[in-house]
Structure 1
């Protein structure tokens, strides 16, 4: 059996692991590279494996770095089935259509304003190509064994992280391969704790926060302080946010503060059409999260939901203080750029980062203190206050990742650490060695390993 590490090896994005036997090729996740330019450029390169020779895709969840390459895979010849949970199918549909639409809009803008070196600038894939992925989906229930061939089956088990996210237990050639996908926090605001694997010969473990422990800060108190101090100077709070789960988590926290009369009576705006659509997915998949139907309804009623770009412009030029949650979470595109182009130059405003910021993204550069940021070909001075709430991450920290392996009945033959930057990977490697003495390997991008 061969393993091809086609993404998320030595980096956080572009998750793709190919499992190859004599009879079968299975791709675990099919993500898009984000962040650093040399990684983003890999999205345009053909896979080293012909997509037409891949039999199945097993999808852990619907974030862009795990599903965003699917339209390209299908366009390049993949004809097989894509298996995932019901919420993941719904979220992936929204994510892919939104991603394609943003790419088309940005290519059009780049061509119109001639700031791209590509003549003409092109989207990686179109909305039409994103829609062609949908017939390939097959929804499976969590915990149900799904037979792929006579000697190969898999099951999904709950991972927390975002709505519908699952880890994968794959049985092939008398070996058990467990893929963590992205693992949520054990004490997440909205998601239940991740389930832990019991048996595994080979483990593929995400390492996003492998070198960090989430601070035990009072998130509500911190958010209250940010909003009130910005309101007092007549400023706006902008929260760049991932449309799936993070928007809903921030909504929940703001709703709690509002119920307790701890934040002012101002406009609270959700400006991410996809995030608004995900609210329906939350309502329709109640067993996957902690919110009741009543809580979902009450929470939604607190917010002004913006869907049209004309409404975005109206909101931006409204002089009254407001709190805006807008995608994307790492400021790589989306509506949040329109707000930042107007608000980031003004010192009375506050930008709150509430999720992981990958290398090379605008969010990461702001987090590291850059004083000038480029958007749509123009540079903007960073005069607004930049702050972050690390405890809101949908990823488990080092403790959560280490604990995820504690119920294994027997030591695995190998643990592969993936989906992390170098310092995080190495810190988690050392911690796992100390705790369990498991054999651990950190694969490199493009590496092929025989097991």
Structure 2
């Protein structure tokens, strides 16, 4: 671990990229400002094993030397490492919007519980290489980490550490998602977090970026545009086809945002008689709790009372593990929405094991599938998945919805950057697979004539310097 410097002979404002480089996961940005250390985001690495192993590696700086964390939003690739960081000695304040703090209160304990269950399952069935298998963190450690989170109001300046100002602006994407602007003296840097869509059916459009010297922008869909067909039409087409043949539809969905949207669109189609009123299940206690938060934070999205009334009327929430197992014994036609969205864990894996081998059924992927995940393997044509130590043959139809993402596409990313009130000194392109990040970098360079750079893992930049060091031409 690198030592913490307590004295400085000159002003310091430095950024080090500890994650979200060459991948869409592990969002972690270290800011060092006059002897203080701040993390923007504290996410889990997901997907390929070499990335996941970083979660277990020694943190690049002593966690006890970090003074504060500022979260852009609650998704685990942005917040899910917090319990591990706290368990290793971090005792500072975590700043987040009120909705993000509420969502973390659901997501982080659930993550710890799933990690415990996975380790227990591996130990009972003997398929782990580690004896005994241990979770990265447990539910109790997640609960401890939640005590560190303090709410920050939208558009109100606050000091995560003395001398450094911060401000959060709405970004759409999911409930509570924010862009983070940090200001030291006359120098500003804005972290986009995950940028929502301009016409999302649930979330409000993202705010323009604040005037900044530097912008760190995500590039999840930096190399592609979302499909032109509305998501409702995509759902109608696939659901009609599968239900007509008596199949079951398994919809892996992120518990925050996408699960609520998919359920609402299907319920509307059933209400209008465009889809048969087959059983519609939500098998994710976490997603059910998240739906209640959307009702609580009604001003931060476009859903209204009638939408929630329809969800309560049409959706059957699966509560216990016993009910979940009983659902696997059923046959179609039926529709099940369950987390996680990239098939990295949770109850949906049991549904894939149960329904995946039958060609009458369908697995419908709704959202980005990070490289190295089971979802990415299915989207890429895999017909077998390793689940709980066993190979499961997949003969079900696999469909990837093109319009389901909560991330801005390449045109929307460029529109967000163009809305900046002034030209930045440089843009750092992160949170994307290599092809996507480089495609966005080229568009920024050629269309905006702004310096743009794709940072490497653990690359460090002096934000008080005049240019991006090592930026490609």
Fold shared, TM-score > 0.5 on shorter chain: yes
2:117 is aligned to: 105
Distance 1:291 1:272, change over 3 A: same
1:152/1:170 contact within 8 Å kept:
yes
2:227 is aligned to: 215
SS class of match (1:391): coil
Residue 252 in structure 1 maps to residue 264 in structure 2: yes
Give the one of 384, 387, 391 matched to 1:379. Answer: 391
Cα distance in 2 for residues equivalent to 1:198 and 1:112: 52
Give the one of 415, 418, 423 matched to 1:406. Answer: 418
Cα distance in 2 for residues equivalent to 1:147 and 1:14: 25
Give the one of 84, 88, 92 matched to 2:96. Answer: 84
1:71 is aligned to: 83
1:22 is aligned to: 34
1:198/1:407 contact within 8 Å kept:
no
1:333 is aligned to: 345
2:95/2:160 contact within 8 Å kept:
no
CA deviation string 1:61-110 (max 9, x = no partner): 00010000000110011111001111101111211111111111111110
- The TM-score normalised by the length of structure 2 is 0.94
2:365/2:400 contact within 8 Å kept:
yes
Instruction: Show the 5 A alignment for 1:252-271.
Output: 252-271=264-283
1:44 is aligned to: 56
Residue 424 in structure 1 maps to residue 462 in structure 2: no
1:323 is aligned to: 335
2:164 is aligned to: 152
Residue 162 in structure 1 maps to residue 174 in structure 2: yes
CA deviation string 1:371-424 (max 9, x = no partner): 211100100111000001121101000011101111223211110001001000
1:175 is aligned to: 187
CA deviation string 1:351-388 (max 9, x = no partner): 00001000000000000001211100100111000001
1:418/1:425 contact within 8 Å kept:
yes
Deviation at 1:173, TM superposition (A): 3.5
Residue 361 in structure 1 maps to residue 353 in structure 2: no
2:211/2:422 contact within 8 Å kept:
yes
1:272 is aligned to: 284
1:445 is aligned to: 457
Residue 128 in structure 1 maps to residue 140 in structure 2: yes
1:58 is aligned to: 70
1:312 is aligned to: 324
Cα distance in 2 for residues equivalent to 1:375 and 1:273: 21
2:6 is aligned to: none
SS class of match (1:444): coil
CA deviation string 1:288-334 (max 9, x = no partner): 10011232122222100012110011111123421000000000000
Deviation at 1:149, TM superposition (A): 4.4
* Segment of structure 1 superposing worse, 349-358 or 93-102: 93-102
RMSD over equivalenced CA pairs, Å: 1.0
Cα distance in 2 for residues equivalent to 1:225 and 1:362: 24
* Segment of structure 1 superposing worse, 140-149 or 202-211: 140-149
CA deviation string 1:173-204 (max 9, x = no partner): 32111000000110101001000114010100
Deviation at 1:231, TM superposition (A): 1.5
Give the one of 332, 350, 354 matched to 1:342. Answer: 354
Cα distance in 2 for residues equivalent to 1:198 and 1:174: 14
Residue 282 in structure 1 maps to residue 282 in structure 2: no
1:56/1:81 contact within 8 Å kept:
yes
Cα distance in 2 for residues equivalent to 1:198 and 1:165: 15
2:104/2:146 contact within 8 Å kept:
no
SS class of match (1:133): helix
Deviation at 1:260, TM superposition (A): 1.3
Q: How many residues align?
A: 451
1:296 is aligned to: 308
Cα distance in 2 for residues equivalent to 1:173 and 1:33: 33
CA deviation string 1:199-243 (max 9, x = no partner): 010100000000010011132222112112211221100000000
Cα distance in 1 for residues equivalent to 2:332 and 2:206: 41
Cα distance in 2 for residues equivalent to 1:308 and 1:156: 38
Cα distance in 1 for residues equivalent to 2:325 and 2:254: 21
* Segment of structure 1 superposing worse, 110-119 or 290-299: 290-299
Cα distance in 1 for residues equivalent to 2:417 and 2:269: 36
Cα distance in 2 for residues equivalent to 1:55 and 1:149: 7
1:202 is aligned to: 214
